[in-house]
Structure 1
Amino acid sequence: MTTHATAGVIPQTSAAAQTATLSRITAIDALRGVALTLMALTHAAFFIGVGMQAESYGGQPVSLQSPPYWLSGLLTTLASPIFFCLAGVSLALLEQSRVRKGASSWSVSRFILARAGVIMALDLTICAWLWMGKMPYIHVLTAMGLAMIVLAGLRLLPTRVILAAAIVTLLAYQGILEVLRPQLEAGAPQSMAQALFLTYSYETLLPVGFPLLGWGPVMWLGFVLGRNLSHPLLRQPRTWVGIGAGLLALWLALRLIGGYGDLGAYRAGDPWPYFLVMSKAPPSLSYLAFKLGIAALIFAVLIAFPKGIETGLLRVLTLIGQTSLFFYVMHIVVYHLLAQAFFAINAPALPGIIYGYTIWLAGMVPLVWLCSRYRVERKKRPESVLRYL
């Protein structure tokens, strides 16, 4: 992937290329909608105490439940890598749009910083209160906001330098995890700084779920992708099939050699499903390669069949993707309320997986309606505070 961008300069594209890029923005929105819909499933189940674990945390042993649970978990764990990557893509598209309208480089960075502040405030208030019972919690949006703050300065560098910085950070981070492996596997106490930047911990002063240096490079790689989105090769589904196949090949190689930086490395003698269980916290390279490889294949399908996400039944995914931050915050509110209602009734004894999917579907109905209304209001007021959401 090549580019001729220099510091503060966005590659110029022809009108035809820009039109082609716009046609793919719908596919990007739909892919983001896929991620958020899956995220809603795992969170709906979480709120009623149903686990769908198919990933490891801190190198601790994993005990998989029956196939319906862990197969669901394999799908839902696609969400975070896609969410972070496409956040970077969206920021690159926003940058290009504002530059075309004559915005200065500083005004673009200032907007990114303001947006970062908004999403971190939402994460540390509404989202944290409903997750942890009014206890501040550094979760997805805070990690994303911190990565955006870094990107507000990083975007001033040439695109190739941003790409190199993201790759070097990603690889170096995996090496640091190898150094920290004994401490993490032993469950030793961590400092707040270590948890925030490198690992994760629910035992620090503020619980940390997503470390900056583990997830930030995923956003920065997405930003580079967004700057190159008009490249002719990226218009072809077969390109994304190739990218997906390459990432899955990388994942397979990492799993076979034991996983560079993967605290959830597969061990001979484990049941075969554990070959698919990798470390999400802290995120391993094998985990990211596997999830983003599948995401690339999904994206290839979305590009190949655009009518389904523009006017067909799957257009609901596009709606969710176009209102992503609003959906994220509201899905926590909705599923928190549904869980309270669920615990207030005397539900018959059924497998938890059934209730997990039932609560998820019940919540998606009002969420889709709310997102539809929100999108209408945002279009009416393009320069209001809603533009930060």
Structure 2
Amino acid sequence: MIVRPSEIASFREALLDAKAVKIEFDTLWELWNRAAPRFTGDLGQAAALKDALLELSDSAVIELPKQAWDRSTVPALPRHILVPASRRPGNDRAWMTFPWCRQLGWVSSLPTLQPALFDDLVTLNEWLGRVEPATLPIVPVRYRSAEIFAREKRLDQLERTKLFGPDQLSLEMLACRRLAPPAPAASVGSGPDALIVENSDTYWVAVEELRNSSGHDIGAVVWGSGRTFPVQVPSLAVDVAGRGPLQGIAWYWGDYDPIGIATAVAAANSAASVDVRPATGLWAAMAGLAVQEAGTFDWSNSAGQEWLGRELWDRLSYVRSAGGRIAQELVPVDAVTVWATNPAAGAANQQACVDP
């Protein structure tokens, strides 16, 4: 299961409400269970906690230890964390009297400022004193971050803090922009559409099958790289396999499990400029296949019915009832070429095509 932003927000509030600078693991675990009760008893409970901790660390809400990790667990978890905001404020409010440049004058009115953020702002102030951002070429955000802080990911972290916002810091002010991670792709034809698949072996199967067949409108196969694909979707509007922006439909097919469906739905909602639709016939080819890992997966919060379609969702209900999954690799190789000849066909028609 993917951690929801609302659960991370609840966890953040619980940590701040604890009013403790150092929070030991037992308390940490208890606060996490309260903030995200749906994970209680789930096999992914520890992994979800780690994801939440990393998110809060990136946004400077907490500090993770460098050495104090319990590596007997999978994944490893910290034995304690620090909450900087719980430290008692001292009399040193240097940011209020610091000689900020014009772009950073608002900093002096902040009621509080963590020492690490003050140091970053001083570094940024020095940079702004040397350059005129309006005259600089716009570069990717990590290039600008490396230039200013000698740390390419520091702007990523600062962008999650309250320092970024209206009349404060912005990427535009720093003459940089955020680019979507590229999606690995291969050209397989001259058509306008693309087939996106979740898994790497399926990617190579689809590339080989579609390159060796004709009569389809699939111009490229894209590897969705698992759950990372939603952040890669905007890159399809820039370039796909060196062919320029995607001209047609992005047909998506992944594993039929809660993460695979959540990834598909998130991808469909991630960029208005890219039309992500289900490769219905390939999802339909999973209906009737044996359930894998029964009793392992929690489908209770899955929201894929609207995207996948009620008919196909119902036909796959036995997988959800069994608490299992079906991997892409169980679908016969030639199903890809059968689907490609009519990708927009309904589930019932496509299933008839792939059934022996």
Normalised to the residue count of structure 2, the TM-score between the two structures is 0.24
Q: Write 1 or 2 for the structure with the bigger share of helix.
A: 1
Normalised to the residue count of structure 1, the TM-score between the two structures is 0.23
